[in-house]
């Protein structure tokens, strides 16, 4: 009975997730010979790790370094989203706001405006003669020139993914059992202790969901790095997009995706371990 | 007070680009770099553009239906996943996460290939509204699951069993006991699904066929020549409509709440 | 197994959802690249409905057409993409008897290298690639690609994010063909671009127009059609095609193989070549028309504007992009190295 419940979903993911993914895997592991017949090869993967000059250190190889930079930027963005988003979710979930759902919606609504338009609007804000610098100039503060730097890319990611951090954290904080908090307070725990021992651990499933939903699209984004990074901070998403659309080399593009997926799976495995702890202690 | 300032700042951050976008919908110049004077022309032209209007209705239809379908599938799936043994559970969860971590372009192209395979198998039909809707459901489901799972984890399994022990049939026990408990997660998931659907370009482009377009495809394909300010006008209108609707619903809710002193409002997440 | 069948059945049902009326022409074009009014005129004249859809890049369009699954009848690819699609036997030969208005297309725009016999395509718009510069920031004459390497303009130069367009100045500066498949030449151009990167502000797409109009940049690589728009918005701007030569580009209309509406498609192409319609389109889009009759009906000052209408004789060293086949992979590797360099 219990297993039956998951069964239709297993069918669903087999068709719509596993099959397309196997397709990607197939492309990544094959090449075509002169007659158009496909054969097995690891060349697509080898190409990714290849040195462009002899003796080039592994981490400096071109595709590897792009991959590392993508993960690094996504990590920074995720961390900033967490630092900004957790307090926002906490405040909204707490007492004192009667129109919580309204507030929460306010965080979502900007996302309903087209992504490209919003990103263009950031260009208008961040330009040398843009809105921000005009404002700063008016206030007598020195100008800020962050457009087309990695700071702008991080800003774009934080802006676009912040609601994906706030929402799940809010959801898990929202129904935290008040009696637990009161019990802790009765036992003499101070505010910080209540938070670190009771509230935060209980919200960890939400944090994990949030981190997942921010980190993963952060690694694969390419439009943000194109527009706000001025193409100078190319990310792994750009590489894959380039292979599929500009070069038409689906095999190499697939190989990069597979490598990316494996790397993300490893990082998610680490998150999952963090996730498990409170479940066992709770 | 400090809390309000913090939320205010965060909201300002979220809305700054929207305000810029709205201001430029009144710009007589087609360029966002120059203020060419105030105009309402873009609004007038907007309503005479059948392409934009059709794309708008497609976008809304797809977003609403895909969010609803993904919510049902995702919620049931999340419950199913939680009922699995721990090893199976983590396997299914990993697979669930795959589309989220797969770059859109890869998801889009591989779904396109899969759909075309089905089409050849079925011997008819083509890419179009149906495939577009299906692909949106597919990429939305994981987000619903990710939103529902944290709530399920915290659900007391005994509640459901207690209800059943008291003679409630499984369906009723689910509707009366489980669903209300996980409702916040379900609604969050639905909102995320709606949001993602409205915004998706890459997957939509590859899974739609001749004659069916949505706003994202329209807007992104303008990128080579520059986005037409009509689109800014449209966004401004959508934004205002949404805001007014939200405000009205919220006002009605708070009034109802006061009347009945009930804890949960319709919008409660 | 039953459930699998149900899911499959549902999927099949979803596909049945689609399908278009028989008298509908499916047109696939760049975004905002036609005066949509003309679509209504076409339907009025012929009774053929037009289903109009957009793509953002040649390659996206190609991927969709190549894989099938959707039925498009008229496409608007660029030169090199037409070249590639002809090589891969993806296009229908057009019956020029059904397109009498082709007589209005200038001879200099017909039978070009991407479609040498002019059998598959009818040109739509054309232009060049050059340097848009702000005369308030640049005093010297702009007549050579060298200026894009001048450190004086550090952080005020914009290049295109698209690979082959950004390689063009480097190839031309070195005296190579923009269609080169010589690894040593690609490598030399790559090194030139890496050398240039520190003084570049950004590699951008259409955002370059707003940046130049807003005075954010002194120099940028821009298509001539976009330059017309920028100069209109900001009179400080000027445009030049360097003496080393550049790229001349064409977007043309083609019909993909296997269409069920070839006759209607040809009627549509013929309609686009009608001088009045071509005039409407060039006025709306702002790019240069290939239709000589329409050109002669433009205001005199537009006809004389060397930005809108580059003098072909001054473009002696310029070339049209051709499909470079698998060498695109080599370009891509070089381009990735440029973008990833510090």
CATH code for the domain of A215: 1.10.3720.10
Rounded CA separation A173/A205 (Å): 10
Collapsing DSSP to helix, strand or coil, B164 comes out as helix
- The mean per-residue pLDDT over the stretch B198-215 comes to 89
| pLDDT of A277 higher than 60 | no
On whether the CB atoms of residues A129 and B34 are closer than 8 A, the answer is: no
Q: Give per-residue pLDDT as tens, B222-261.
A: 888 888 899 999 999 999 998 888 888 877 777 766 655 4
Q: Does any domain span residue A53?
A: no
Rounded CA separation B244/B235 (Å): 14
User: Which residues, numbered 173 to 232 in chain B, qualify as contacts with chain A under a Cβ-Cβ cut-off of 8 Å?
Assistant: 181, 184-185, 188, 191-192, 195, 198-199, 201, 215-216, 219-220, 223, 227, 231-232
pLDDT at residue C20, as a whole number: 43
pLDDT at residue C13, as a whole number: 55
Please indicate, yes or no, whether residues B84 and B157 belong to a single structural domain of this protein. yes
Q: Are strands C74-75 and C122-134 parallel, antiparallel or unpaired?
A: unpaired
Q: Are strands C122-134 and C219-223 parallel, antiparallel or unpaired?
A: antiparallel
Q: Does any domain span residue B32?
A: no
| Inter-chain touch A121–B21, beta carbons under 8 Å | yes
User: How far out from the chain centre does Cα B132 lie?
Assistant: 14
Distance of residue C210 Cα from the nearest chain B Cα, in angstroms: 5
Q: Does any domain span residue B30?
A: no
| pLDDT of B36 higher than 80 | yes
Please indicate, yes or no, whether residues B71 and B94 belong to a single structural domain of this protein. yes
What CATH code is carried by the domain that includes residue C93? 3.40.190.10
Using pLDDT thresholds of 50, 70 and 90, give the confidence band for residue A74: very high
Q: Which helix (H) or strand (E) holds B204?
A: helix B202-207
Distance of residue A114 Cα from the nearest chain B Cα, in angstroms: 6
Please indicate, yes or no, whether residues C178 and C307 belong to a single structural domain of this protein. no
Please indicate, yes or no, whether residues C168 and C43 belong to a single structural domain of this protein. no
Chain B residue numbers with beta carbons less than 8 Å from the beta carbon of A272 are 90
Please indicate, yes or no, whether residues B214 and B238 belong to a single structural domain of this protein. no
Query: pTM for this structure?
Result: 0.89
Of A177-191, A249-263, C3-17, C230-244, the least confident: C3-17
pLDDT: which is higher, C315 or B22: B22
Please indicate, yes or no, whether residues C235 and C177 belong to a single structural domain of this protein. yes
Q: Does any domain span residue A46?
A: no
| pLDDT of C16 higher than 70 | no
pLDDT at residue B102, as a whole number: 79
Q: Give per-residue pLDDT as tens, B59-101.
A: 999 999 999 999 999 999 998 888 887 788 888 888 888 887 7
Collapsing DSSP to helix, strand or coil, C111 comes out as coil
Chain C residue numbers with beta carbons less than 8 Å from the beta carbon of A226 are 161, 205
Q: How many residues does chain A have?
A: 282
User: Chains touching chain B at 3 or more Cβ pairs under 8 angstroms?
Assistant: A, C
User: How far out from the chain centre does Cα B146 lie?
Assistant: 14
Distance of residue C205 Cα from the nearest chain B Cα, in angstroms: 7
Please indicate, yes or no, whether residues B71 and B149 belong to a single structural domain of this protein. yes
Q: What is the dihedral of CA C107, C109, C112, C115, to 10 degrees?
A: -100
pLDDT at residue B204, as a whole number: 93
Please indicate, yes or no, whether residues C189 and C324 belong to a single structural domain of this protein. yes
The domain in which residue A132 lies consists of 63-281
Q: Does any domain span residue B27?
A: no
Distance of residue B179 Cα from the nearest chain C Cα, in angstroms: 25
- The mean per-residue pLDDT over the stretch A169-185 comes to 79
Please indicate, yes or no, whether residues C23 and C41 belong to a single structural domain of this protein. yes
Of C13, C51, C233, the CB nearest to B31: C233
Q: Does any domain span residue B63?
A: yes
With left for phi above 0 and alpha for psi between -120 and 50, is residue C128 left, alpha or beta? Answer: beta
pLDDT at residue B260, as a whole number: 52
Q: Supply C323's token pair.
A: 């499909």
Please indicate, yes or no, whether residues B128 and B199 belong to a single structural domain of this protein. yes
On whether the CB atoms of residues C204 and A230 are closer than 8 A, the answer is: yes
Of B109-123, C129-143, C215-229, the least confident: B109-123
Please indicate, yes or no, whether residues C102 and C139 belong to a single structural domain of this protein. no
Of C7, C60, C339, the CB nearest to A231: C339
Q: Does any domain span residue A220?
A: yes
* Domain count across chain C: 2
Among C146, C173, C336, C194, CA closest to C244: C173
Burial of C85-112, coded b for 16+ CB within 10 Å and e otherwise, reads bbeeebbbebeeebbebbebbeeebeeb
Rounded CA separation B23/B34 (Å): 12
Rounded CA separation C15/C69 (Å): 10
| pLDDT of A282 higher than 50 | no
Q: Which helix (H) or strand (E) holds C122?
A: strand C122-134
Please indicate, yes or no, whether residues C72 and C137 belong to a single structural domain of this protein. no
- Domain boundary residue among B193, B212, B227? B227
- The mean per-residue pLDDT over the stretch B44-54 comes to 89
The domain in which residue B212 lies consists of 51-227
pLDDT at residue B268, as a whole number: 41
Angle at B145 between CA B162 and CA A68, to 5 degrees: 140
Q: Does any domain span residue A219?
A: yes
Q: Which residues, in sequence order, are bridge partners of residue C49?
A: C24
Of B120-129, B238-247, C52-61, C209-218, the least confident: B120-129
The domain in which residue C41 lies consists of 2-126+250-312
pLDDT at residue A58, as a whole number: 87
Q: Does any domain span residue B245?
A: yes
* Domain count across chain A: 1
* Domain count across chain B: 2
Using pLDDT thresholds of 50, 70 and 90, give the confidence band for residue A42: very high
What CATH code is carried by the domain that includes residue B161? 1.10.3720.10
Q: Which residue has the tokens 């030449």?
A: C185
Using pLDDT thresholds of 50, 70 and 90, give the confidence band for residue A187: confident
Please indicate, yes or no, whether residues B57 and B168 belong to a single structural domain of this protein. yes
Which residues touch A18 (CB under 8 Å, ≥6 apart)? B95
| Inter-chain touch A234–C329, beta carbons under 8 Å | no
Q: Fill in the DSSP letter of residue C288.
A: E
Q: Could you tell me if C336 lies within 8 Å of chain A, comparing CB atoms? A: yes
Rounded CA separation B39/C147 (Å): 39
pLDDT: which is higher, A186 or A126: A126
The answer, yes or no, to whether ipTM is higher than 0.90 is no
Please indicate, yes or no, whether residues C110 and C235 belong to a single structural domain of this protein. no
């Amino acid at each position: 009975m219990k297993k039956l419940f998951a069964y239709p979903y297993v069918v669903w993911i087999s068709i719509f997730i596993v099959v397309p993914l196997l397709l990607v895997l197939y492309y990544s592991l094959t090449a075509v010979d002169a007659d158009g017949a496909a054969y097995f090869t690891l060349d697509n993967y080898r190409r990714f790790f290849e040195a462009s000059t002899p003796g080039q250190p592994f981490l400096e190889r071109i595709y590897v370094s792009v991959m590392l930079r993508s993960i690094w930027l996504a990590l920074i963005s995720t961390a900033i989203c967490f630092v900004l988003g957790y307090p926002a979710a906490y405040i909204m979930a707490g007492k004192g706001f009667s129109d919580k759902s309204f507030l929460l919606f306010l965080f979502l609504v900007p996302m309903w405006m087209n992504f490209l338009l919003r990103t263009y609007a950031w260009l208008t804000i961040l330009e040398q003669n843009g809105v921000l610098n005009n404002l700063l100039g008016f206030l007598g503060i020195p100008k800020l020139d962050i457009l087309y730097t990695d700071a702008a890319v991080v800003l774009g990611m934080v802006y676009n993914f912040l609601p994906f951090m706030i929402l799940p954290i809010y959801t898990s904080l929202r129904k935290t059992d008040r009696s637990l908090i009161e019990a802790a307070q009765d036992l003499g725990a101070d505010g910080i202790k209540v938070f670190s021992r009771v509230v935060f651990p209980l919200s960890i499933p939400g944090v994990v969901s949030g981190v997942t939903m921010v980190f993963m699209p952060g690694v694969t984004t390419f439009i943000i790095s194109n527009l706000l990074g001025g193409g100078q901070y190319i990310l792994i998403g750009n590489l894959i997009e380039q292979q599929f659309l500009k070069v038409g080399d689906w095999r190499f593009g697939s190989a990069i995706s597979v490598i990316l997926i494996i790397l993300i799976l490893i990082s998610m495995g680490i998150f999952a371990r963090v996730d498990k702890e409170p479940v066992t202690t709770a | 007070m400090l809390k309000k300032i913090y939320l205010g700042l965060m909201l300002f951050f979220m809305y700054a680009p929207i305000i810029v976008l709205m201001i430029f919908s009144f710009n007589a110049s087609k360029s966002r770099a120059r203020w060419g004077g105030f105009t309402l022309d873009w609004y007038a032209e907007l309503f005479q553009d059948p392409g934009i209007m059709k794309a708008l209705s497609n976008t809304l239809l797809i977003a609403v239906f895909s969010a609803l379908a993904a919510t049902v599938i995702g919620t049931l799936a999340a419950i199913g996943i939680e009922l699995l043994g721990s090893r199976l559970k983590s396997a299914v969860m990993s697979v669930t996460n795959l589309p989220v971590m797969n770059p859109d372009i890869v998801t889009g192209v591989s779904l396109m290939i899969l759909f075309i395979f089905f089409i050849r198998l079925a011997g008819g039909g083509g890419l179009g509204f149906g495939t577009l809707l299906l692909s949106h459901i597919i990429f939305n489901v994981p987000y619903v699951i990710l939103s529902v799972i944290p709530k399920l984890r915290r659900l007391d399994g005994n509640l459901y069993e207690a209800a059943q022990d008291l003679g409630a049939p499984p369906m009723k026990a689910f509707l009366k006991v489980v669903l209300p408990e996980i409702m916040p997660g379900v609604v969050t998931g639905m909102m995320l699904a709606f949001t993602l659907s409205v915004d998706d370009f890459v997957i939509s482009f590859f899974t739609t066929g001749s004659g069916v377009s949505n706003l994202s495809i329209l807007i992104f394909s303008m990128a080579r020549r520059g986005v037409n300010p009509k689109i800014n006008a449209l966004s401004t209108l959508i934004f205002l409509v949404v805001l007014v609707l939200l405000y009205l619903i919220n006002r009605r809710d708070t009034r109802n709440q006061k009347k009945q002193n009930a804890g949960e409002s319709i919008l409660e997440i | 197994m039953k459930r699998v069948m149900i899911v499959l059945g549902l999927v099949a049902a979803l596909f049945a959802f689609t399908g278009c009326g028989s008298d509908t022409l499916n047109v696939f074009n760049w975004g905002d690249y036609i005066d949509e009014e003309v679509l209504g005129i076409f339907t009025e004249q012929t009774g053929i409905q037009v289903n109009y859809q957009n793509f953002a890049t040649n390659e996206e369009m190609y991927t969709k057409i190549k894989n099938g699954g959707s039925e498009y009848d008229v496409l608007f690819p660029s030169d090199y993409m037409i070249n590639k699609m002809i090589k891969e036997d993806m296009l229908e030969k057009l019956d020029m008897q059904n397109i009498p208005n082709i007589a209005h297309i200038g001879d200099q725009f017909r039978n070009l290298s991407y479609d040498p016999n002019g059998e598959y395509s009818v040109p739509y718009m054309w232009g060049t690639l050059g340097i848009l510069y702000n005369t308030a920031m640049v005093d010297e004459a702009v007549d050579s690609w060298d200026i894009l390497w001048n450190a004086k303009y550090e952080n005020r130069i914009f290049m295109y994010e698209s690979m082959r367009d950004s390689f063009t100045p480097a190839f031309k500066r070195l005296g190579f063909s923009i269609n080169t498949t010589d690894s040593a030449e690609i490598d030399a151009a790559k090194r030139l671009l890496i050398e240039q990167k520190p003084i570049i502000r950004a590699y951008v797409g259409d955002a370059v127009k707003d940046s130049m109009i807003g005075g954010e940049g002194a120099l940028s690589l821009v298509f001539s059609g976009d330059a017309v728009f920028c100069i209109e918005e900001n009179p400080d701007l000027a445009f030049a095609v360097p003496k080393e030569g550049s790229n001349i580009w064409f977007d043309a209309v083609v019909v993909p193989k296997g269409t069920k509406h070839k006759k209607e498609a040809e009627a549509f192409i013929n309609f686009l070549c009608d001088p009045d319609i071509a005039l409407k389109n060039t006025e709306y889009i702002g790019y240069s028309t290939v239709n000589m009759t329409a050109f002669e009906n433009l205001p005199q000052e537009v006809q004389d504007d060397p930005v809108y209408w580059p003098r072909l004789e001054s473009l002696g060293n310029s070339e049209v992009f051709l499909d470079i086949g698998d060498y695109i992979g080599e370009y891509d590797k070089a381009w990735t190295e440029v973008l990833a360099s510090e």
